[in-house]
Chain A
Amino acid sequence: MTARAWTIIGCFAVLALLFMLPEVLRPYYLALVTKMLIFALFAMSLDLLLGYTGLASLGHAAYFGVAAYTIALLIVRAGVDSGLAFPVALVAAAATGALFAPLALRARGSYFLMITFALAQVVWSVAFGWRSLTNGDDGIPDVVRPDFGWSLDSTTSFYYFVLAIVGLATLLLVAIVGSPFGRALRGIRESESRMQALGYNVWRYQYVAFVLAAAFAGIAGALYAYYNRFVGPEYLYVVQSAEALIMVILGGAGTLIGPAIGAGLIVFLEDFVSSMTAHWVLVLGIIYVLVTLFAPRGLIGLVDQLRQRRVKP
């Protein structure tokens, strides 16, 4: 069989498995898989910048959090219908990205990392400090889930809702990275000057990638607000940004499946190990070090390494 056929069979197998999960998993674990899906999308959105465009951001939580807060504020403070708040949240996240991109794109490399970090911290300060609007660090509870004549309050129905949205978003991302636009981004990652010489407006490509990454992070943030039915300033904090960065690197930057696996693994490990021992932080730290040593290109890179080793002799 051809590689393509295997890929299609593989995708269908995973999809079928995901569809059947509610039949076999207890609600708690189903909710955990829901969380994995949300963070998989968050990590993939960051990878659009980091892996495909070569811009490492340490402020990606800003767009995640802006969308989550938009959802919460609209629903709890303004009484807007929960489903209607969703598109508004996406626009808010994308708009924040559109606003920050011109500032951040003046810098490259580590400076880009730091300027995105600085901008995200400013957003965090607003969420933490503007108490009359956001309740500060107490956060906003009672975020209602959307109801499309079909309640999303049960774990199973919400799981399918997230699966559908994340699935759609993933298809979109696959289409984007496979399009001429995506190829141009990879070209820019390899050599900005060459792409410039070829007549590409590098800045405009990077700008669009930045805004798209913010919008997809916004989808994840909005889903996470529904998921927990609660938002707080932690969603915007640098720890959240760093975690997303680690998910991408752990899984393997420059692919979509890598960050998704990295996200799923970290969500699972944090939950699983922290139930076993209060020293889960130590365990996770050791795992990060080991992964770097044995799979410096991430878990996906490890799979590639193993494959090459098998093919060579």
Chain B
Amino acid sequence: MTWVIHILNGIAFGMLLFLLAAGLSLIYGLMKILNLTHGSFYLVGGYIGLTVMQRTGSFVLALVVAVAAVALVGAAIERFFLRRFHLDELPQTLLTFGFLFIFADLSLWIWGGNPLMLNMPEIFQHSMPMGYYAYPVYRLFLIAIGLVVAGGLWWFQEHTRIGTMLRAGVDDAEIARALGINVSLLFTLIFAVGAGLAALAGVLAGPVLSLYPGADFEVLIFAFVVVIVGGLGSLRGALAGALLIGILDDFGKAFFPEFALFTVFVPMAVILVIRPTGLFGRR
């Protein structure tokens, strides 16, 4: 039974990582931007969700408002700032690093330094008995929502017009532009979607992981690890990487506690040495 619980834990954590990594990976795949502000989108999204939840008591409303607000902020950052430095890596890095600082300080200012926890919706507040153990229902909900989002993204990518444009853009932005695709709009849209996914992860993680200064950087590192392992720019890679890292993290801590600090970084280094572009990445 403990095995089942460990695997469920790993998948639930992996799903949160997937939401984060999917956005990071999409943005990189299309625009070649290594977005250091991604963790801030997660944290600010979580905090906004928290405030909405405290004011209205509605978890759904918290999700909607947080995702919408952060997606808007993301779109603005892309349109007014990153846009100017298309394919110019160094200024983009400096810029996203600057925003990381700005959001970190603003959220410390607004929400304070104590760790804050979102209340989870009433229906998920109990645990499912499993033999001698119990398993929190909320985590099953996390797994479900992760699967739904993964399915939705896949459908979006494969079966919608924007998805086709996206794939064309990832393959070669110049050709896509030549084909008459409005690449400029696509960039803003995808950046907003990526930011929104990070905010979604923030609100969903709020009741489990809590929100606090520094969480932005911690999850950024985790998201990095996932996309490194999975391969940049690939949705499949983000999902596979997230599940792998989620499960490795859980099993490593449970069965090799001595090496808990290494359970994530060593496999990552090993994978990179064997496959420098990650599991599903292209050169």
Question: Which residues does A use to contact B, with CB under 8 Å?
Answer: 56, 103, 106-108, 110-111, 113-115, 117-119, 121-122, 125, 128-129, 238-239, 242, 245-246, 249-250, 253, 279, 281-282, 284-289, 291-293, 296-297
Contacts and interface: CB of A to CB of B under 8 A. Distances in A.
Given A107-B276, A115-B272, A292-B94, A281 B261 contact: no
Chain B interface mostly helix, strand, loop or mixed?
A: helix
19 contacts: A56-B89, A103-B269, A103-B272, A111-B228, A111-B232, A111-B277, A114-B224, A119-B269, A122-B262, A246-B93, A249-B90, A253-B90, A281-B108, A282-B106, A285-B99, A285-B102, A286-B102, A288-B97, A296-B90
Given A103-B272, A246-B94, A125 B262 contact: yes
Nearest to A252: B90
A95 B165 CA distance: 47
Top-9 shortest CB links A-B: A285-B101, A288-B98, A285-B102, A282-B105, A107-B276, A289-B98, A281-B105, A296-B91, A125-B261
Contacts of B279: none
B91 A249 contact: yes
Contacts of A245: 93
A282 B227 CA distance: 28
A122 B266 contact: yes
B256 interface: no
A219 to B, nearest CB: 25
B95 A289 contact: yes
Interface residues of B, number: 46
B268 to A, nearest CB: 5
Contacts of A239: 217
Q: Which of A108, A118, A281 lies at the interface centre, i.e. has the most chain B CB atoms within 10 A of its CB?
A: A118
Given A107-B277, A125-B262, A289 B90 contact: no
Contact of A121 (B32, B265, B277): B265
A245 B34 CA distance: 14
Contacts of A286: 98, 102
B228 A293 contact: no
Nearest to A106: B276
A111 B281 contact: yes
Given A125-B265, A292-B85, A285 B94 contact: no
B193 to A, nearest CB: 20
Given A111-B276, A285-B99, A296-B90, 10 more contacts: A106-B276, A107-B277, A118-B225, A121-B265, A242-B36, A279-B109, A285-B98, A285-B100, A288-B94, A296-B88
Contacts of A107: 272, 276-277
A249 B104 contact: no
Interface in B135-155: none
B28 interface: yes
Interface in B65-110: 81, 84-85, 88-91, 93-95, 97-106, 108-109
B273 interface: yes
Interface in B233-283: 261-262, 265-266, 268-269, 272-273, 276-278, 281, 283
B273 A114 contact: no
Nearest to B232: A110
